[in-house]
Each structure stands twice: as structure tokens, then as C-alpha cells.
Amino acid sequence: MTDKTNPQSIPDENTEMKEQQPIIAQMPEPVMESEPQDEKLLQEAEAEEPSVKEFSQKTYYEEPLRLSGRDMAGVILAMVMLTIIGIGGYIWLTPGLSVSGGADHHNHAMQADAGRDHSTGTDEGQTHEAHAQMAAAPAEHSKCAWCGMFADKSMGRVKATFAEGSDGDFDSWGCVFHQAEDTSTSIASAEVVCLDSSLEEPEWLTADSSWFLYKMDERVEGSMPPYIGAWSDRETALERKAVLGGELVDYAGLTEKMNEWLTD
């Protein structure tokens, strides 16, 4: 029981109210995290990852070196030296060819063969322009009236007279028939060198009484294709066929074959 006469025994209302305050009010306030842990890790990973621009520049691109004037002069000098070496090697490997531009008939034949249409694999692809490049020849040589090669250096040599009265010296039957086609004429008569003779001492045969091997497997020296050999009699030509190949024909058969060859 409270003694009202004793001031100390009278309860203080403020004290009772403080004692009656909830305990939770005295607990410390919880500390809230500013951002989730996963988001923080993601930001750290993004901070460490280089940008696309930095990655491409550092990994895939390097500034090319710039050539100085001395380097460029060295490159030009090297190209000039390689060109000189290539030309010198070609001259050295090509028999009869000299720096002054002289060449023997073998080289002219090789150049003429290079004028063939190799895309079709045929001999018929030659052009008049390719032959014209070989027109220059010493005065002592007889040049082919159609292609300009050395007719007197060919074992397929033909001297032909045409229907309109002109004649010419040719290195092969192909050139004879090309000339006739170009001038819209026909062959009136012809003489041909026997393949068993030589360039130094050629044996001339009358074409219309000779026998021929048309498109032989063996190349005829100095002749343009198709390669054709001539003999005075059928028996000799037939013997040579076993070695040289080709098709055995007389003059009429040769004329027919050559006309077909022109239209192929």
C-alpha cells in the first residue's frame, strides 16, 4: 500500500510510462543493404570486361608499317633485278636467241606454235596476227607467203601456183590452203619437198603424183601444223606410216582433208 504522506513513495507517472514502453522501441534499427549482392557482382564483372572497341583494336587490328623512301626504292630495285634475271634466263634457255633480237628458224617455229588456240587444244586456232610477228627474216631466206616463217627451213615446204596466176613459197600445206582461201582462188599446181631428203639438198616432188601422210604424230621440222609428209610412191609412204603415224592419202585425198581442216 502506498504511503501518500511520503512523497518518495508516490509513483512518478512519467517513470511508469517509460517502463511500459515496448521493448521493440529500444532495439537497433536493421541496416538495409543498398543493392542486392548479385547485381553488385554483375557490375564488377562489367567493369573488368573491355569494351568492344578496345577488344577489337587491341586484339584484331595493328597499324600497318609505313614504308620509308629507302624501303620503296629497295622494292623497285628488286623488281627490276627480277625482270632482268627473267629475261636473261629466257635468252639463255632459248637456243639461237640473242639480245639483239636475232633468232634462228627453230625459235620462229616455237613462237608460231605458241600462237595456237590452246583453249581448244587444236592447231587450227592460229591467227594471221601471230604469223605476222615472225615476218622479219634475213634477205637470204625465203619467207612463207602467208605466215612469214622461213619456208626454206621447213621439211614441209611447198611451192604452189594458184588459178589466178599468182604463186608463192610456203612452209606447209596449211599455209598454202589458207592463202587460197584468203585470195578466193584454188591451187593450180604444186611441188613439195620429200620428207626423206634434207634442207641442204631438198628433193622436189610433183604434188599430184605424190603420196602423203596427213596429220602425222611426229612433228615436221620447220612446218606449221597439220604435219604432212610427202613421198614419191605409195609403198614408201606406207612404210613410214608405221613409224610416223598419220593417214595415208594421195593428192586428191590430201586436198579433201585440207578443205575439211579449213572449215573445222
Residues 33, 217: Cα–Cα separation, whole Å: 98
Q: What are the tens digits of pLDDT across the range 131-140? A: 554 554 445 7
Total domains present in the chain: 1
Instruction: Answer whether residue 192 is part of any domain.
Output: yes
Longest CA pairwise span in the chain (Å) = 176
Task: Record the pTM.
Answer: 0.50
Contact call for residues 171 and 151 (beta carbons, < 8 A): yes
In a domain, 209, yes or no: yes
Q: What is the pLDDT of residue 10?
A: 52
Residue 117 has what pLDDT?
46
102 confidence band (pLDDT: 50, 70, 90): very low
- Give tens-digit pLDDT for 162-182: 999 999 999 999 999 999 999
Q: Which domain holds residue 190?
A: 138-263
Mean pLDDT check: name the lowest of 5-14, 64-73, 74-83, 238-247.
Answer: 5-14
**Is 96 among the domain residues?**
no
CB atoms within 10 A of CB 69: 7
Grid cell 589466178 in the structure block, residue? 164
H or E stretch covering 258:
helix 251-263
Residues 190-215 have pLDDT tens digits of 999 999 999 999 999 999 999 999 99
Average pLDDT over residues 98-127: 46
19, part of any domain: no
CA–CA gap between residue 87 and residue 91 (Å, rounded): 6
In this structure, of 14-23, 89-98, 251-260, the range with the lowest mean pLDDT score is: 14-23
The verdict on residue 9 lying in a domain is: no
**What pLDDT does 89 receive?**
78
Statement: residue 238 has pLDDT above 50: yes
pLDDT of residue 6: 53
Average pLDDT over residues 229-237: 97
In a domain, 57, yes or no: no
Confidence check: pLDDT of 240 > 70:
yes
Question: Is 104's pLDDT higher than 80?
Answer: no
Identify whether 95 is part of a domain. no
Is residue 115 assigned to a domain? no
Q: What is the pLDDT of residue 137?
A: 46
pLDDT (mean) for 124-135: 50
Over residues 31-57, the pLDDT tens digits come to 555 555 666 666 666 665 555 555 444
Q: What is residue 105's predicted lDDT score, i.e. its pLDDT?
A: 43
